[in-house]
Homo-oligomer: A and B are copies of this chain.
């Protein structure tokens, strides 16, 4: 397996992993700054605290400098400096002594995964708390503890970024990914690094039929911001798109449909997964859980689907400290890159051939048909004949591929040859 792309993507993840991201604040900015070094064309945008976006209000920035729990002897029990999951995301500041029972009310654990620190946030209700593994939780001795969180919420901005790669057409493919989780590998960073790799690949192409819009947003609030600011444009132009998340591990593939279920994005995703010739899990819209919730909401209804490796919520490391750089791999990322490349290529190549000639064309005189007709001679041109018979204006290449099981690139090259012979017209 070719994993060059995977090695690059993995190395970016290594750099981005330690940053303490949240939905707003310096972590997001650091992340976008890093991305802009690889993809200098990205445009970093912002929206101010307090601005209304659809039903939501842009929250304050959360600034955190230091956070720990010490025992009565001054020993460090928990330190945010060691793992940024240790503090509940968006925690209020605190500085107090508590006995063990009171402390425990502000500790979050995962008893069923006792060696993992859970990832917990409280964006819309002021509170404070620490997250630790259950083994440590159980080993805590009674006594007094000093809980200290030096955090602050301030008016500022919510940052996000977009990168628009112009194509021949104004019609767009939207690639969205999120940048708001702290140290989380599969369920966060795999998305942005794949987005970068896909953007780099698409940039390298000499021509692109469609325009590509990459967006890097905090999950939920960020996609809501983005849609609210670009609603008309997206509704008019987006013909397909994907939400990139959980694309880094090397287990199975997964497919989550758009709400509609049969958009161009869905058809291309299923085509690419079938072509990859690997088993994959087909989820239903009921299993949604990321920004497709916004993109496909009633009245928004953009054609956004997801191809994933292990889907969020479905693998044990999800939303724990174990969703780290060991869960993901260059191979896993590379596989996702290949499948998305295949899906995007299918969208690019998904032309509609329309026959110019009534009846079968005389292919022999054009050197396109075996000159000797014997028992099986027509087999060699079967795919060309199948393409022709479905060049009726109601089949695009995705549907012809579904019928014939042929790869779209093979169909496209036949269509181009036949167009050059004047036999059919390619409609894009």
Interface residues of A, Cβ cutoff 8 Å to B: 54-57, 88, 108, 110, 118-125, 127, 220, 223-224, 227-228, 231, 259, 285-286, 288-289, 293-294, 296-301, 313, 318-320, 354-355, 357-362, 364-365, 369, 371-376, 378, 385-386, 388-393, 403-404, 423
Contacts and interface: CB of A to CB of B under 8 A. Distances in A.
Contact of A127 (B358, B365, B372): B372
Contacts of A362: 55-57, 124
A231 to B, nearest CB: 7
A127 B371 contact: yes
Q: How many copies does the complex hold?
A: 3
Nearest to A221: B362
B297 A389 contact: yes
Contact of A224 (B227, B231, B360): B360
Given A55-B358, A125-B371, A288-B389, 7 more contacts: A120-B373, A224-B360, A227-B358, A293-B385, A298-B389, A298-B390, A319-B375
A285 B395 CA distance: 15
A403 B285 CA distance: 10
Contacts of A388: 297-298
B319 A124 contact: no
A124 B364 CA distance: 6
B360 A294 contact: yes
Contact of A389 (B259, B369, B393): B259
B122 A373 contact: yes
Q: Which of A224, A320, A374 has the most CB of B within 10 A?
A: A374
Q: Which of A125, A364, A376 has the most CB of B within 10 A?
A: A125
Which 8 A-B residue pairs are closest in the complex by CB-CB distance?
A125-B371, A298-B392, A124-B364, A55-B361, A319-B375, A54-B359, A56-B362, A298-B355
Q: Which of A118, A286, A293, A365 has the most CB of B within 10 A?
A: A286
